[in-house]
Chain A
Amino acid sequence: MITNFRLWPVSASSVAGQFNLLFVVLLILCTLVSVAIAIFLIYSVIRYHRKSENELGSQKRYNIPIEVAWTVIPFILFMAFYVWGANLYFHIERPPDNAISMYVVGKQWMWKIQHPEGQREINELHIPVGRPVKLTMTSEDVIHSFFVPAFRTKQDVLPGRYTMTWFEATKPGKYHLFCAQYCGTKHSGMIGWIYAMNPVDYQNWLTQGAPEGSLASNGEKYFHQFGCANCHHFNNQGRCPDLRNLYMRPVLLTTGQTVTADDSYIRRKLHDPDAQVPWGFSAGVMPNFTGIVSEEQILALISYIKALGPQPGTQEPSSSGAAPTQYGTQKGIGGPGATSNAGSQVEKR
């Protein structure tokens, strides 16, 4: 009936070891101090147990040096753990540059995951061992939280914005994925598995269930389907910005502010287009796509824009659709090709 009983959690990520060390050191220290207090307390209670009804003990009221000591020493110890813990937190919060990007959409009550290669999974995530994986996450409804105990990571997944988490699995295996933020009736059913695989097995897994196209190429499809391509020509001309060379670049806004064109910036463009308008363009042209484009499709569009990538020069895009692979950083991702000569179909929105 009772299976897999254990007293220490599985440790399977690059931060798990650092977490364990900090946890155990602090636990030992706390235990020692608690035991010391307990011994002193029990000693006082027994040694000075009232011997006669009318007994009165010592009437000592204070001892300044001791009181200063038990204020300052704990504080110094606290600060040591504060710094140590903050250090680990920085490490947990900052993904390494070489991380593979994957995308998570939470909804009541499931996890939908998209791989850059185009695979989609529900309540399962396959990852390679030894490579950092970065998850960009959002929710379609309420707040959820992506929690993998074996990796010692947890990050709330919020509606209306992106949050990010990363991990690097160190041991192949099957690990729990939990939703840690209460999200309604089937909160306890919003669970799944992380499969950490050897890189070779992972490659096999990727090729076996090979989908029709990569996430970015799906994004390209949506780029046409939703009419983005009608406006966003790749020629740096006209009323609509060229989206090549945009991803993660600084954008000067009409307000004079500069922001980075990250995932959130692009997402906001679709939900609230006039909130941040780039310099030289006018608000009110880009349509609002709320309720038209789903969170998953937005993630695909972002992957596409990312694949269009920063690229050198202001080379004229091939309006003929020739040599599409010259754009972007990812194989198979091209410019708007066929639609690029369709003219500015602003009305089409």
Chain B
Amino acid sequence: MAQAVAEAIQKNYLNEKQGLLSWLLTTDHKRIAILYTFSITGFFFLGGFFALMMRLELLSPTNWLVSSETYNKLFTMHGTIMVWFFLIPSIPNTLGNFLIPMMVGAKDLAFPKLNLASWYVFMLGGGVTVYALVRGGVDTGWTFYTPFSTSYSTTYVVAAAVGIFIAGFSTIMTSLNFIATIHRMRAPGLTWFRLPIFIWSMYANSVILVLNTPVLAITLVMVGVERIAKVGIFDPALGGDPVLFQHLFWFYSHPAVYTMVLPGMAVISEIVPAFSRKPMFGYKAVAFSSVAIAALSFLVWGHHMFVAGESVYVAMAFSFFSFCVAVPSAIKVFNWTATMYQGSVSWDTPMLYAIGFIGLFTIGGMTGLMLAVLGLDVHLHDTYFVIAHFHYIMVGGTVMAFLGGVHYWWPKISGKMYPEGLARISAAIVFIGFNLTFFPQYVLGYLGMPRRYAAYPEEFQMLHVLSTAGATILGVGYVLPLCYLIWAWYYGRDATPNPWRATGLEWKTPSPPPAHNFEVTPVVTAPRPYDYEAMKEELQLV
């Protein structure tokens, strides 16, 4: 009997091969995606732990919990881990890795071995960074501003820089893989304008990463050279220019902040049509807005330096382009909302996350505009206002999108359904916890509370206490999905191939998919993506 049941279970990518080695040596993009999911989840909770320690310290205006040295290391390690070991790889290397081949109707990525190598390189980079951490940490901030990082900090700057440098290669490998796959491996009939927005956004994202990561690499090398060999590059005492570092860093890092949100936009652009049962409204505008963001994101780096002694005319140019980059972002928000209008909108968990994303991203974007206004940035720069701005986008946006995406594709990835009721409750907890954590920080910011302060004047305490309270709620909201998703992996209801009745190619194959994704390579004939009209019969919709 048991024999019969086992035979009835289809071979899929999860059970086809067994054992630890079959995972560690796999070249299957789906399995590598799972490896990445483990890694970044670990890094997320590690970074989250640092954040929690910071929030606890900030309960009181004095150094009641940790010393200033420790606090400085906490925010540095929090930022470093969250940016390079969670946000940048998060959606691309997990959901992207899993879905890009399936969405384009391919059996795997263009270079499967490179894909596995990229995971090992990533883990090596992570390992070196964690080494810097356990040896005593780094205290430069994730931004590594010179000459502090090169001549004054006495912590493990070089080790951390090496870790990030190594991880950068993994980013480049994955991005090249995606670009090659999207160009060369699309199924017959799958023209560019038949691709889902997810692919467009991941493509734009990969192009940015291939172009900007080398700039970070060389900048970190220069920091190392100056620190070790005392060659004057950035430190004026050695004949260098301290602001040069900021130019190089933000030339990398402003595009990088967009590589943290474009994948989030990619996920939302799949969830919204699927749960509204409507094609993406203004498909071409949304597709090109991703490309526009990628291009414009390279022209705005100076907006991080409005008070660093930049000439007023240079500042005007950067302010102008910052407003320009907000236009494609606004277009996306309008189009997502318009997609829901007159659709058949479900309130399933992924959609709740998507709605949360749109709301929080809008607030983050609006405050980005306020920061782009030159006269306002002078006051707001380097205060909690900036902290709140980018957390609304990167945590309120990207992390929400990541969670939404994980729920949306969980049936495909694991072959199991997650508990819907509990999932909705935790989505609500995340939303409430997030706002309670970060909204008070906007107020703190325009009141003048500077960033990176371990101790602060008493008048700011009330808002800090609110923020810490919110953080504990947010923490619960993140731990819950971890628990019930693991539970569902073992005990969840079996998922059908297309539980949401969505239109993408990834839903045309069993859940979980077979190792080679498709039994027969799909041929795409529908003139456009999200074509519910054409698939009415197939999806049994009326």
Interface residues of A, Cβ cutoff 8 Å to B: 1-9, 18-19, 22-23, 26-27, 30, 33-34, 37-38, 40-41, 44-45, 48-51, 54-63, 66-67, 70-71, 74-75, 78-79, 81-82, 84-93, 108, 141-143, 145, 147, 149-150, 152-156, 158-161, 163, 176, 178-189, 191
Query: Measured between C-beta atoms, what is the minimum distance from A283 to chain B in Å?
Result: 17
A44 CB contacts on chain B under 8 angstroms: 337, 340-343, 345
Q: Distance (Å) between the CB of B40 and the closest chain A CB?
A: 27
B320: A residues at CB distance < 8 A = 82
Residues of A within 8 A of B379 (CB): 19, 149, 152-154
Determine the chain A residues whose CB is within 8 A of the CB of B362 once the complex forms: 34, 37-38
- B542's nearest neighbour on chain A, judged by CB, is A54
Q: Could you tell me the distance in whole angstroms from the C-beta of B139 to the nearest C-beta in chain A?
A: 7
- From DSSP, what is the main secondary structure of chain B's interface residues? helix
* A49/B459 in contact, CB under 8 A: no
The answer to whether A176 and B369 have CB atoms under 8 Å apart is no
Please determine whether A5 and B462 come into contact, CB atoms closer than 8 angstroms.
yes
Contact of B281 among A8, A60, A90, A108 (CB under 8 A): A60
Say how far B46's CB is from chain A's closest CB, in angstroms.
22
From known contacts A3-B458, A143-B242, infer whether A86 and B237 are also in contact, taking CB-CB under 8 Å: no
Residues of chain B touching chain A, judged by Cβ–Cβ distance below 8 Å, are 68-69, 72, 139, 141, 145, 147-148, 151-153, 235-237, 241-243, 276-285, 306-309, 312, 315-316, 319-320, 323-324, 326-327, 330-331, 333-335, 337-338, 340-347, 355, 358-359, 362-363, 366-367, 369-370, 372-379, 381-383, 443, 446-448, 450-459, 461-462, 465, 528, 532-533, 536, 540-542
Bound CA span A55–B378, Å: 52
Interface of A is mostly: mixed
CA distance A145 to B148 in the complex (A): 14
Question: What A residues does B69 contact at CB under 8 A?
Answer: 185
A141 to B242, CA, bound (A): 11
Most buried by B among A7, A79, A141, A143: A143
With contacts A5-B459, A187-B452, A189-B455 known, is A56 near B541, CB below 8 A? yes
Q: Are B378 and A81 in contact (CB under 8 A)?
A: no
Asked if A185 meets B278 with Cβ closer than 8 Å, knowing A58-B342, A74-B330, A161-B309, the reply is no
Scoring B372, B446, B457, B458 by chain A CB atoms within 10 A of each residue's CB, the highest score goes to B446
A158 to B465 alpha-carbon distance, docked (Å): 34
Q: A41-B337, A78-B327 are in contact. Are A86 and B453 (CB under 8 A)?
A: no
**Nearest chain-B residue to A82 (Cβ)?**
B323
Closest-by-CB residue of B relative to A94 is B312
Contact partner, B68, options A54, A66, A186, Cβ 8 Å = A186
Do the beta carbons of B72 and A185 come within 8 Å of each other?
Answer: yes
In the bound complex, how far is the Cα of B366 from the Cα of A38, in angstroms? 13
| Shortest Cβ distance from A56 into B: residue | B541
10 A-B residue pairs with CB within 8 Å: A57-B344, A74-B330, A82-B372, A84-B373, A86-B315, A147-B382, A159-B236, A180-B450, A180-B451, A187-B68
A50 and B330 contact, CB distance less than 8 A: no
